[in-house]
Amino acid sequence: MKTAIGFSGGKDSTLALYKIQQDPAYEVDSLLVTMTEGFDRVSIHGVRHELLKHQADSLGIALREVWIPEGCTNEVYQERMQQAVSEMQADGITHIVFGDIHLADVRAYREKMMEGTGITPIFPLWGRPVGEISLDFIDLGFQTVITCVDMDQIDRSFAGRVYDESLIKDYPVASRDICGENGEFHSFVFNGPNFKSPIKYELGKERITPDPGTERDRFLFVDIIPN
Neighbour-count burial of 3, counting CB atoms closer than 10 A to its CB (0-12 exposed, 13-18 middle, 19+ buried): buried
What are the start and end residues of each CATH 3.40.50.620 domain in the chain?
2-122
What are the start and end residues of each CATH 3.90.1490 domain in the chain?
130-226
* pLDDT range class, residue 180, cuts 50, 70, 90: very high
Residue 72 has pLDDT above 90, yes or no: no
Q: In what order do the strands lie in the sheet with 143-150?
A: 185-191, 143-150, 217-226, 201-210
Please answer whether residues 27 and 5 qualify as being in contact, where contact means their C-beta atoms are separated by less than 8 angstroms: no
pLDDT in tens, 5-41: 999 999 999 999 999 999 999 999 999 999 888 888 8
Amino acid at 36: T
Helix (H, G, I), strand (E, B) or coil at 176: coil
Please answer whether residues 189 and 51 qualify as being in contact, where contact means their C-beta atoms are separated by less than 8 angstroms: no
Neighbour-count burial of 31, counting CB atoms closer than 10 A to its CB (0-12 exposed, 13-18 middle, 19+ buried): buried
Which CATH fold would you assign to the domain 130-226? Answer: putative n-type atp pyrophosphatase, domain 2 (3.90.1490)
Tell me if the domain spanning 2-122 has CATH number 2.60.120.10.
no
Amino acid at 92: G
pLDDT in tens, 76-122: 999 999 999 999 999 999 999 999 999 999 999 999 999 999 999 99
pTM for this predicted structure: 0.95
Q: How far apart are CA 106 and CA 25, in angstroms?
A: 26
